[in-house]
Structure 1
Amino acid sequence: MNLRNPFKPVLLGCLLATAATATADTAKPAEIPVPLLWKVSDADNAVYLLGSFHLLKPSDYPLSKDVDAAFADAERVMFEVSPEEMQSPAMPQLMMQAALRTDGKTLQQDLDAATWTRLQAWADRNGLPLASFAMFEPWFMGMTISIMEMTKQGLDPKLGLDNHFMEKARAAGKPTAGLERAQDQIGVLDGMDAVEQRQLIAESLEQAEKGSLETERLHESWRRGDAEGLWNGMAADMKREYPRLYQRINVDRNDAWVPKIRQRLTEPSSDDTLVVVGALHLLGKDGVVEKLRAQGYTVERVCSACKAGAR
């Protein structure tokens, strides 16, 4: 799986112990990435919305001057989960506790025969003993598949856009905050019903079976700032094939975030805010960008390299 998965920031810390080692990336990019960046304004301040790719390569840096300017203009930076929680030593323990089964069943008992066969084939190809995951909830297995696939293709969570700006904000002394608590984010995963968890594994396996070309295509779309291409590659299929999963991990969370972003606009100050979240959350009619535009805010794409009129 790829950018479809908005939970990677929380999961990376505890899953990378089992993930394959990322390969070095020494290729020099032909161009600086075109940002997925929007500016939302009211009468006295603004919020910049920046679409993240949670795992990146050294060649994805430096970022564009548009992104650097947005960071410089912002007095505060917000993320899906605050840096304090993301970097807490308690995070892996919270995740593992949530993922452990308490019903006495095993992973195989949760899956239909066809999905179990596909999962066994994937595990064999990657040298991963499924017995190690027998007592974990299916959603944890689905996330493991996603992250292992991306890291072995040379994408590194330490270089992800979220982590980059967490470090940059710390160095600049800018205050940071999260749009949701880590436990809330974990709870969304752990609260999935059996159907949704099976969908997550199936979707993860589907993307893994497509191989590196799918991830490379999406990574290149992100580099080009291709919002339509990313939407079609990340969300359109999920919305059509796994609607309950799409609603839970994307729409419901976007709806919860919009009032918190609006609060930054309605506060009686001229302070601006940079919001860095997974690109999926900004795209399409269910995305934060269109939700804020529908509420009457002025929203413009900030992209010097884009064609005139791009949104």
Structure 2
Amino acid sequence: MIPRNPIKSLLLACLLAATATATADTAKSVEAPVPLLWKVSDHDNAVYLLGSFHLLRPGDYPLSDDVDAAFDDAEQVMFELSPEEMDAGTLSMQMLQAATRTDGSTLEQDLDPDTWTRLQAWAEKNGLPLANFGSFESWFVGLTISIVEMTKQGLDPKLGLDNHFMERARLSGKPTAGLERGQEQIAVLDGMDATEQRQFVAESLEQAEKGSLETERLHQAWRRGDAEGLWTGMAADMKREYPRLYQRINVDRNDAWVPKIEQRLTESTSDDTLVVVGALHLLGEDGVVEKLRARGYTVERVCSACKAE
């Protein structure tokens, strides 16, 4: 969802519990973001699908009237993970346990000499002792690099759209639910093979060296509600270059979510529901939007600021 790197773009959409705090900010935006929002309807109720950006800035709020209206209309809110699980305090520990090496291998052994040298330089530049990373799997190191770089650009996980609506649902007393469990998300990351993990670290470092331009481009595409731009920047390269990883991270999860979302439409006792998930999961032919449309539901883009789809 965030950088150019196609692996990283999707893995960061699975981000669970970043603890870093933004160290920089940019000028506040003056217009509300154009929402990536769709309404899926059957004969008696509706599901709103809202594409999230998991790290945002204060200037990304308030949201558009379309999004506020969808939240007000919904009697229940669903997320990738339930707020109860996110607040349980166990996800970070589960991730650390999954990322900790247990086979006696070292991070330096996993990386080629050039990547190791670049990682040393990055750690020194950011005042992070490289020894702190030695006991962790490469995928966790790559994720850490990305989070550090994004928070330096003023993007804060505490301000992500998911957290925003978890708090709003809590304050309004609306029931919430999750589409999957945290351990399932962790397994997506921990399931990367050695080659994919090395690539993840190398490209995380490459993005860090190039700076914030690509991250900002994707953030602005999200603010514009540019579904095509986000698809191209987030997923198209990965689908082409890393089809197995794309299948595991995106398609398989979407396929598992669609029946759960559809149940909110088919159950006669269900009320309207707002579903907030990473924007990637709604985009392209493999996205939840098209999968529900293929099942015969009426699907329309909700966007007063853009042309109807």
- 1:62-99 deviations in Å (ceiling 9; x for gaps): 10010001001111101111111111122221111111
State the alpha-carbon separation in 2 of the partners of residues 186 and 86 from structure 1. 13
Note if contact 2:82-2:177 (Cα within 8 Å) is conserved in structure 1.
Answer: yes
RMSD: 1.6
- CA 1:129 to 1:240, structure 2 compared with 1: closer, same or farther past 3 Å? farther
Note if contact 2:22-2:153 (Cα within 8 Å) is conserved in structure 1.
Answer: no
Corresponding residue SS for 1:29: coil
Q: Which residue of 2 aligns with 1:125?
A: 125
C-alpha displacement at 1:12, in angstroms? 1.2
Aligned length: 302
Q: Which residue of 2 aligns with 1:165?
A: 165
Note if contact 1:76-1:274 (Cα within 8 Å) is conserved in structure 2.
Answer: yes
- Paired residue type of 1:254: N
Note if contact 1:48-1:275 (Cα within 8 Å) is conserved in structure 2.
Answer: yes
State the alpha-carbon separation in 1 of the partners of residues 207 and 240 from structure 2. 15
Note if contact 1:50-1:277 (Cα within 8 Å) is conserved in structure 2.
Answer: yes
Gaps in structure 2 of 5+ consecutive residues: 4-8
C-alpha displacement at 1:7, in angstroms? 1.6
- CA 1:304 to 1:219, structure 2 compared with 1: closer, same or farther past 3 Å? same
Q: Which residue of 2 aligns with 1:102?
A: 102
Deviating more after overlay: 92-101 vs 242-251:
242-251
State the alpha-carbon separation in 2 of the partners of residues 21 and 305 from structure 1. 30
State the alpha-carbon separation in 2 of the partners of residues 71 and 163 from structure 1. 14
Q: Which residue of 2 aligns with 1:7?
A: 14
Written as runs of structure 1 = structure 2, the 5 A alignment for 1:106-185 is: 106-185=106-185
State the alpha-carbon separation in 2 of the partners of residues 106 and 133 from structure 1. 10
State the alpha-carbon separation in 1 of the partners of residues 88 and 274 from structure 2. 22
- CA 1:244 to 1:210, structure 2 compared with 1: closer, same or farther past 3 Å? farther
Note if contact 1:39-1:48 (Cα within 8 Å) is conserved in structure 2.
Answer: yes
- 1:98-149 deviations in Å (ceiling 9; x for gaps): 1111111011111223332332333233222221111111111111011111
Using the aligned pairs only, state the percent identity. 76
With structure 2 as the length reference, what TM-score do the two structures score? 0.92
Q: Which residue of 1 aligns with 2:6?
A: none
C-alpha displacement at 1:246, in angstroms? 2.0
C-alpha displacement at 1:270, in angstroms? 5.0
State the alpha-carbon separation in 1 of the partners of residues 210 and 162 from structure 2. 26
- CA 1:129 to 1:193, structure 2 compared with 1: closer, same or farther past 3 Å? same
Gaps in structure 1 of 5+ consecutive residues: none
Note if contact 1:46-1:273 (Cα within 8 Å) is conserved in structure 2.
Answer: yes
Corresponding residue SS for 1:251: helix
